Amino acid sequence: MFLDRLTKVFTSLKLTVVCLTLAMLLVFFGTLAQVDLGLYKAQNEFFRSFLIYWGPKGADWKIPVFPGGYLIGGLLLINLIAAHYSRFGFRKDKFGIIITHLGLILLLMGQLATDMLSTESSLHLRNGETKNYSESDRLTELAVIGKVDPRTDQVVAIPDSRLAGGSVIRTPELPFAVRVKHFYRNSLLVAQPTAGFEKSGATQGAGPDVWIREEPRTTKMDERDTPSALVELVADGKSLGSWLVSTRLAAPQTVTFNGRAYDLILRLRRYYIPFNLQLLEFKHDIYAGTDIPKNFSSQVRVLNPATGEDREVKIKMNTPLRYGGLTFYQASFDQDDRGSILEVVRNPSWVTPYLACLLVGVGLGVQFLSHLVPFVKRRLTT
């Protein structure tokens, strides 16, 4: 009885209409929320969530007030599949509809997979520069870099999500544990005692002469947070000292332990790629005699030691380079036109929207033909 009622709810067309209406409202309010929250936070709170929470300012409690993107999308998906089962089944004359719905299901699932599995990062190259990594625009990591030999470093990269105050990170690759005494999501550093700033608390490296203040997290699109952390290195229960690491401190700080040197640096999170990209030249073409941009392009060289590949490719607006499971888009450039910024997208499910659209197209075609052909036959025989 209960199961029947549940089935009725999930197969209901009303649920489809309600979900689509909620989705429209979600997009509307999610877009407005970007003004206050910024793009990234609004996306997380409205679209990458099951429920949207609200609480009065200053209060430490929140209540769910609206379904989030995952809940609406998930319900739509269940509704689509359930309705399909109960209404159409696998009848031959509904074959086209089955394929069409399969396409829609693939589209929804593909978007979920994209949302969860894809990463976006930036690759900034100056003319002539070669790199084999891209960097996150927003996420950071604490890198502890040990020298293996004169040519090779071993990197232990601790993501910022693990740098909460009080946490201790131990890995077999490091002879000491990293204890996070304080993590500042956004911070400002000064080099002298200043009202409103506290002493960093560091005892080693650049930190002892630095004063720090926690800043509110930025919601502006053209700014990013500059996190800092006070970390203590502990070996065999003994403290080696505390270091202040910050994305505002450009140079790594060196720690020597048991005769081996390690560099500590808080930096933008890196994504290494198994090949090198060299920027041969960035070109910012404009219409002759004007300042009006005509085209932006990066002539890059792909050097892959694994395959022995060494070739040149031109990456232009709307003509990305797809290589090694990654897509490199022309995203931005340096003010002096001598450097290029490529957006690097790793999306294992990039093909699903294409496949989904193909399935929907084929399905609609089959369904149309399945009616047209008998109709024409009837016309010819009568």
Partner 1 sequence: MMNPGSWIVRSPLRRPALAVAAVSLLAGCGRNEVKVYRVEKDHDAAPPMQQQAEMAAGHPDVGSPAKPQLSWTLPGGWEQQAPGEMRAASFSIKGKDGKQADVSVIPLGGDAGGDFANVNRWRGQVAQQPISPEELAKLAESVHVGSDPADLYDVSGQNPSSGDATRILATILHRDGTAWFFKMTGDDALVEQQKPAFIEFLKSVRFQAADTAALPPSHPPIDGMTLSPGMAGDTASSAEHPGWQVPAGWRQAPAGQFLMAKFIVGGEGGAQAAVNVSNSAGDGGGLAANVNRWRKQLGLGEMSDQDVNQSATPADIPGGNAMFVDLTGKDARTGQSARLVGAIVPQGGQTWFYKLMGDAKVVEAQKSAFTQFVQTVKY
Instruction: Assess 12 for contact with partner 1 (CB under 8 A).
Output: no
Site string for partner 1, 130-169 (x = CB under 8 A): xxxx-x---------x-xx-xxxxxxxxxx-xx------x
Residue in 31, 65, 173, 373 binding partner 1, rule: CB under 8 A:
173
Angle (CA) 241-245-247 rounded to 5° is 175
Interaction with partner 1 in 23-82: which residues (CB under 8 A)? 74, 77-78, 81
Instruction: Assess 346 for contact with partner 1 (CB under 8 A).
Output: no
Cβ-based nearer residue to partner 1, 18 or 113: 113
Instruction: Assess 106 for contact with partner 1 (CB under 8 A).
Output: yes
Instruction: Assess 267 for contact with partner 1 (CB under 8 A).
Output: yes
- Specify which residues 38 forms β-bridges with: none
Instruction: Assess 210 for contact with partner 1 (CB under 8 A).
Output: yes
What is the C-alpha separation between 373 and 236, in angstroms, rounded? Answer: 81
Interaction with partner 1 in 315-344: which residues (CB under 8 A)? 334-339
Tell the smallest beta-carbon distance from residue 191 to partner 1 (Å). Answer: 5
| Residue 59 tokens, joined | 């209060």
Instruction: Assess 107 for contact with partner 1 (CB under 8 A).
Output: no
| Residue 169 tokens, joined | 């990170």
Q: Please check whether residue 126 is in contact with residue 282, taking contact to mean a CB–CB distance below 8 angstroms.
A: no
Tell the smallest beta-carbon distance from residue 267 to partner 1 (Å). Answer: 4
What is the C-alpha separation between 373 and 262, in angstroms, rounded? Answer: 74
Instruction: Assess 179 for contact with partner 1 (CB under 8 A).
Output: no
Instruction: Assess 352 for contact with partner 1 (CB under 8 A).
Output: yes
Cβ-based nearer residue to partner 1, 10 or 66: 10
DSSP 250: -
Cβ-based nearer residue to partner 1, 240 or 268: 268
Tell the smallest beta-carbon distance from residue 62 to partner 1 (Å). Answer: 22
Q: Please check whether residue 347 is in contact with residue 114, taking contact to mean a CB–CB distance below 8 angstroms.
A: yes
Q: Please check whether residue 350 is in contact with residue 327, taking contact to mean a CB–CB distance below 8 angstroms.
A: yes
**Which stretch, 37-45, 201-209, 254-262, 360-368, contacts partner 1 (CB under 8 A)?**
201-209
**Which stretch, 36-44, 57-65, 261-269, 363-371, contacts partner 1 (CB under 8 A)?**
261-269
Q: Which residue in 353, 370, 364 sits closest to 99, CA to CA?
A: 364
Instruction: Assess 85 for contact with partner 1 (CB under 8 A).
Output: yes
Tell the smallest beta-carbon distance from residue 101 to partner 1 (Å). Answer: 9
Q: Please check whether residue 212 is in contact with residue 244, taking contact to mean a CB–CB distance below 8 angstroms.
A: yes
Instruction: Assess 103 for contact with partner 1 (CB under 8 A).
Output: no
What is the C-alpha separation between 281 and 134, in angstroms, rounded? Answer: 18
What is the C-alpha separation between 206 and 189, in angstroms, rounded? Answer: 11
Q: Please check whether residue 53 is in contact with residue 35, taking contact to mean a CB–CB distance below 8 angstroms.
A: no
Instruction: Assess 367 for contact with partner 1 (CB under 8 A).
Output: no
First to last CA, the chain: 50
Distances (CA, A) of 19 to 68, 73, 86, 116, 120: 11, 8, 19, 21, 29
Cβ-based nearer residue to partner 1, 22 or 106: 106
Cβ-based nearer residue to partner 1, 226 or 367: 226
Instruction: Assess 364 for contact with partner 1 (CB under 8 A).
Output: no
Cβ-based nearer residue to partner 1, 29 or 85: 85
Instruction: Assess 129 for contact with partner 1 (CB under 8 A).
Output: yes
Instruction: Assess 113 for contact with partner 1 (CB under 8 A).
Output: yes
Instruction: Assess 185 for contact with partner 1 (CB under 8 A).
Output: no
Q: Please check whether residue 340 is in contact with residue 331, taking contact to mean a CB–CB distance below 8 angstroms.
A: no
Distances (CA, A) of 33 to 42, 46, 51, 56: 6, 9, 15, 16
What is the C-alpha separation between 67 and 51, in angstroms, rounded? Answer: 5
Residue in 22, 349, 363, 367 binding partner 1, rule: CB under 8 A:
349
Q: Please check whether residue 169 is in contact with residue 158, taking contact to mean a CB–CB distance below 8 angstroms.
A: yes
